Structure 1
Amino acid sequence: MSTEQTTAAENGFSYTLTRTLDASAARIWQAWTTPDQYAQWAHAAPGTVELDVRPGGSWKSTMLTPDGTEVPLTGTYQQVTENRHLTIGMDVPGRPDPATMTMELTEEGPRNTVITLRQTCDTAEERDMAEQGSGMLLDGLTAFLSDGAKA
């Protein structure tokens, strides 16, 4: 796993997280876009995940933090290319426009896929929180795919 963090004054504060997973892009896509699978690895409260994976489609879930706090999340899918790319808008209270995160999948073999998450934020604090959350997502996804591979 590698992590790259960049800061650009004109474009805000950005991060890029990259991880190579032992799964096909189709398997990762399925885990990311199927509500019951997403709920298992994305730290979501049971029964709170709704995913309408198409451009303009909405999504929502309630994330459970390690201390048990419930954080409702909502947004829309801006771009969707099956098994390859998602651009996800995330509604942020107090922010006029949605925050945007991209997820890209690049297959390097039948069971070797690079997943890349990118986001540009308005402040260093927002970037650090978003990067931490994205890292938690990648950790959960990695564990979920590993458990599935053993079954």
Structure 2
Amino acid sequence: MTNNANVSAESTPELVVTRTFDAPRELVWKAWTEREHLLRWSCPKDFAVTYAEGDLRPGGEWKSGMLAPDGREFHVRGEYRAIEPPERLVFTHVWVEEEGPPPRETVVVVSLREEEGKTIMTFEQSGFRSQASRDSHRDGWGEAFANLEAHLGQHGRAIAMTC
């Protein structure tokens, strides 16, 4: 597995992460687009995914929820902008908050390339309000991608896995 995070020097921080998974691209694509997979990996360490729903088509909405170890709930939603199986997925990402300033919409691009039976994933997220927000997302996604790697390694086994 390779994990590289790059930070743009532009005024709007951007997150770029490249990971290599020992799994075929079609399986990694399913992990990003199918509910039964998303429920098993799409949260940080020690969190649990409570729901994952989506209308996988351009303009279709998606939403997900997570439960933190301290009992707090987090909800996120967005809209699919581009779907190019099994190579590229583009969607918006907005935290659903009940208090505070209006949430900031970011854009996520997931690109998948197969090489020698492995999948090289490039994850890009742009539009953060601040470097602190970008860094918090980098940490959360890093833990989620570790969950994804474990899920891909266990795919096909009857093992219940929690995030």
Fold equivalence (TM over 0.5): yes
Q: Give the match for residue 66 of structure 2.
A: 63
User: How far 1:95 sits from its partner (Å)?
Assistant: 4.3
Give TM-score, length-normalised by structure 2. 0.81
Distance 1:91 1:15 in 2: 15
Runs of 4+ in 1 over 3 A off after TM superposition: 43-46, 92-97
Name stretches of at least 5 consecutive residues in structure 1 with no aligned partner: none
Distance 2:81 2:89 in 1: 7
Q: Give the match for residue 132 of structure 1.
A: 139
**Residues 26 and 5 of structure 1: CA distance in aligned 2, closer, same or farther (over 3 Å):** same
- Where do residues 48-127 of structure 1 align in structure 2 (5 Å cutoff)? 48-92=51-95, 93=97, 94-95=101-102, 98-109=105-116, 111-120=117-126, 121-127=128-134
Q: Give the match for residue 161 of structure 2.
A: none
Query: In the alignment, does 2:28 pair up with 1:28?
Result: yes
Name stretches of at least 5 consecutive residues in structure 2 with no aligned partner: 159-163
Distance 2:28 2:18 in 1: 14
Distance 2:8 2:53 in 1: 33
Distance 2:27 2:3 in 1: 21
Query: In the alignment, does 2:46 pair up with 1:45?
Result: no
CA offsets, 1:2-29, max 9 Å, x none?
A: 313223234x111211111011111111
Q: What SS does structure 2 have at the residue aligned with 1:38?
A: helix
Give TM-score, length-normalised by structure 1. 0.87
Q: What letter corresponds to residue 24 of structure 1 in structure 2?
A: P
User: How far 1:51 sits from its partner (Å)?
Assistant: 1.5
Identity %: 30
